[in-house]
Copies of this chain bind each other. A is one copy, B any other.
Amino acid sequence: MKEARYFYVPDAAAVNELPAEEAVHALRVLRLKEGDELFLMDGEGCFYRAEVALATTKKCIYAIRQTLRQTRAWRGRIHLAIAPTKDMGRMEWMAEKATEVGFDVLSFLDCKFSERKTLRTDRIEKIVISAVKQSRKGWKPAVNPMMSFRSFIEHCPDNGRKYICHCYPEISRADFFSAVSCVSPAVRSSQDRRQTDADTPSSAEDLTVLIGPEGDFSIDEVRLAMAHGFESVTLGNSRLRTETAGLSAVMMSQLARRV
């Protein structure tokens, strides 16, 4: 069986041409010809079955034959905000794995004990898009530029639940997986109402989770977050590296919210 050809094309329904990089892959690597079938993903909930209408050396024009609306695989939006590790390779694999597992937003935090103060989000974006295609995700996770911890906390929208994972035993911490697994009655009923409109995530079920740098958040950062409505949590008893903690938080969130 021929492996279906998936291409990431934002606004696929509005344009009729593959973006330059995808066109190179279609024309030079896969050698697609007029009449060949291809699949487009717009990263916003739609796949399209299309056909090559015109193939030149550099351009690949398509015609859409069928719209395939995707259904969301988990309830609410899962937002991971993490202090990037010194070694970028570790952030890159985390971005790939978190995309495969399934989440919605990736933000990067500049914290007091951060060892990395700058980050090329364009590289992360490429890895995320590649993982979206490979794992056939209906929605592309958004990747935000790095911002200061304080600015993130102060501007984080007040939808759903917000959590900060940290290792300070002197601050009482709830278990993260238990916290995200327990859905309040109010949320349940909004979930029932959503049965006919599963594509619109309910903001009451949104969750944001913060993971600190190798040296953890500072205790003042934890207190600031808590003052802004973040719940103090732990991922469990395992001593995890930053990138493993980030992926664990995504896996637990996805597991708790999957439909």
Contact = CB atoms under 8 A, between A and B. Distances in A.
Given A135-B240, A237-B73, A255 B177 contact: yes
The size class of the interface chain A forms with chain B is 20 to 34
A244 B101 contact: yes
Contacts of A258: 236-237
A241 B247 CA distance: 15
A248 interface: yes
A252 to B, nearest CB: 7
A236 B236 CA distance: 23
Interface in A150-194: 177
A44 interface: no
Contacts of A254: 238
Interface string A242-259: 001001100110110010
A66 interface: no
Contacts of A237: 73, 258
Given A100-B244, A244-B100, A244-B101, A135 B238 contact: yes
Given A177-B255, A252-B255, A255-B255, A101 B136 contact: no
Contacts of A247: 97, 247
Nearest to A98: B244
A239 B102 CA distance: 10
Contact of A241 (B100, B102, B236, B244): B100
A148 interface: no
Given A251-B251, A255-B255, A241 B134 contact: yes
A73 B238 contact: yes
A3 to B, nearest CB: 11
Contacts of A135: 238-241
